[in-house]
Chain A
Amino acid sequence: NAGVTQTPKFQVLKTGQSMTLQCAQDMNHEYMSWYRQDPGMGLRLIHYSVGAGITDQGEVPNGYNVSRSTTEDFPLRLLSAAPSQTSVYFCASSRGSSNQPQHFGDGTRLSIL
């Protein structure tokens, strides 16, 4: 059982470059989310989805885009990378019914030079 899989695990970008962080889950979970984790700030929600075709903004959405064309996949796109987006990014998923725990991937460590 793979759970939540994130790729790549590490990435270095130059300012202005674009890239897509991949997230896939094999648990048939309706809910998927993207968080970033920064020292002194904790984890903050970027975007989330409650099902295929449905996405919405979280706490810190600027500079990021998402789409959800299938239940399994929820990619996060950085449109024009900035040094402030240097962070560790986590994808999470959970069942759509109430009071279900979230399952996290191992994260993508992203550095923007």
Chain B
Amino acid sequence: KQEVTQIPAALSVPEGENLVLNCSFTDSAIYNLQWFRQDPGKGLTSLLLIQSSQREQTSGRLNASLDKSSGRSTLYIAASQPGDSATYLCAVPWRETSGSRLTFGEGTQLTVNP
């Protein structure tokens, strides 16, 4: 059974700092990996989706990397801002499926202090 782990569970940084969130998964037979953002009391917003054939994906100040062989992904946030404060979750599809069924990590709760 696929297991997804996110470290750290919580992170507090001053504004302007560059930071890295980590995600690891046990079964490397995945089609893709998604990073989501969740604000308190809200649903999840998809940030980046990396296909298994890709090494990284970028959107603005966010960069996500994927190393299937080692079962790891990282989300890099450049020049963090207070508005980046949220919980960040990673998710992978069930084995040999492309995305309708996801297994999630428990998330990293990020606080960016002004």
Contacts and interface: CB of A to CB of B under 8 A. Distances in A.
Contact size class for B?
Answer: 20 to 34
A102 B46 contact: yes
Contacts, number: 69
Contacts of A99: 31-32, 49, 51, 98-99
B contacts with A: majority SS: strand
Interface string A98-112: 111111111100000
Contacts of B103: 45
Contacts of B44: 43, 90, 92, 102, 104
B45 A104 contact: yes
Interface in A37-63: 40-45, 48, 50, 58
A35 B44 CA distance: 11
A25 to B, nearest CB: 12
Interface residues of A, number: 28
Contacts of B91: 43
B67 interface: no
A45 B101 contact: yes
A33 B104 contact: no
A45 B42 contact: no
A103 B51 contact: no
A105 B32 CA distance: 22
B45 A43 contact: no
B42 A98 contact: no
B100 A94 contact: yes
Given A105-B43, A107-B42, A31 B106 contact: no
B99 A94 contact: yes
Nearest to A49: B100
A41 B101 CA distance: 16
18 contacts: A33-B101, A33-B102, A42-B4, A42-B105, A42-B107, A43-B91, A58-B101, A98-B31, A98-B98, A99-B31, A99-B32, A99-B49, A99-B99, A101-B46, A102-B34, A104-B43, A105-B43, A106-B42
Interface of A: 4, 31, 33, 35, 40-45, 48, 50, 58, 90, 92, 94, 96-107
